[in-house]
Amino acid sequence: MTELTREYAELLDKQDQLSHFRDEFYLQSNTIYLDGNSLGLLSKRAEASLLSIVDSWKTLGIDGWMQGEHPWYYFAEKLGKLSAPLVGAKPREIIVTGSTTTNLHQLVATFYKPQGKRSKILADELNFPSDIYALQSQLTIKGYDPKTHLVQVKSRDGRTIYEEDIIDAMTEEIVLIILPTVLYRSGQLLDIERLTKEAHKRGIVIGFDGCHSVGAIPHYFSEWDVDFAYWCNYKYVNSGPGGVGGLYVNERHHGKTPGLAGWFGSNKEKQFDMKHEFTPAADSGAYQIGTPHILSMAPLYGSLQLFKEAGINELRKKSLRSTTYLMELIDQELSQFGFHMANPKEDSRRGGHVSLEHEEAARICKALKKNGVIPDFRSPNVIRLAPMAFYTSYVEIWESVQILKKVMVEKQYEEFKNEREVIA
Q: Per-residue pLDDT tens for 36-87?
A: 999 999 999 999 999 999 999 999 999 999 999 999 999 999 999 999 999 9
Note the pLDDT of residue 422: 76
Instruction: Say if residues 47 and 238 touch (Cβ distance below 8 Å).
Output: no
Q: What sign does the CA torsion over 279, 78, 44, 322 have? A: positive
Note the pLDDT of residue 417: 85
Note the pLDDT of residue 1: 52
Instruction: Say if residues 71 and 297 touch (Cβ distance below 8 Å).
Output: no
Q: Is 405 exposed, middle or buried (0-12, 13-18, 19+ CB in 10 A)?
A: middle
CA nearest neighbour of 403 among 40, 41, 37, 34: 34
β-pair type (150-153, 94-96)? unpaired
CA nearest neighbour of 196 among 232, 156, 227, 168: 227
The low-confidence residues of the chain, meaning pLDDT below 70, are 1-2, 424
Query: Can you tell me whether residue 180 is helix, strand or coil?
Result: strand
CA nearest neighbour of 412 among 375, 367, 382: 367
Give dist(CA 389, CA 71) in Å, integer.
31
> With the CA atoms of 224, 229, 232 and 235 taken in that order, what torsion angle do they form, in degrees rounded to the nearest 10?
-30
β-pair type (228-231, 382-385)? unpaired
| Domain locations along the chain | 6-30+312-415, 48-309
CATH (residue range 6-30+312-415): 3.90.1150.10
The residues pairing with 174 across neighbouring beta strands, listed in sequence order, are 120
Q: Which residues are annotated as a binding site for pyridoxal 5'-phosphate?
A: 100-101, 128-131, 209, 212, 234, 263, 291
Q: Model pTM?
A: 0.96
Q: Which residues are annotated as a binding site?
A: 100-101, 128-131, 209, 212, 234, 263, 291
Query: Can you tell me whether residue 162 is helix, strand or coil?
Result: coil
Q: What is the fold of 48-309?
A: Aspartate Aminotransferase; domain 2 (3.40.640)
CA nearest neighbour of 360 among 412, 310, 401, 312: 412
∠ CA 39-223-354, nearest 5°, is 30
CA nearest neighbour of 15 among 395, 294, 421: 395
Give dist(CA 331, CA 339) in Å, integer.
9
Task: Note the maximum CA span of the chain.
Answer: 70
Give dist(CA 32, CA 124) in Å, integer.
33
Give dist(CA 40, CA 239) in Å, integer.
7
Give dist(CA 33, CA 416) in Å, integer.
21
Give dist(CA 417, CA 349) in Å, integer.
34
End-to-end CA distance of the chain: 36
Instruction: Say if residues 318 and 18 touch (Cβ distance below 8 Å).
Output: yes
Note the pLDDT of residue 366: 97
CB atoms within 10 A of CB 115: 7
Note the pLDDT of residue 2: 63
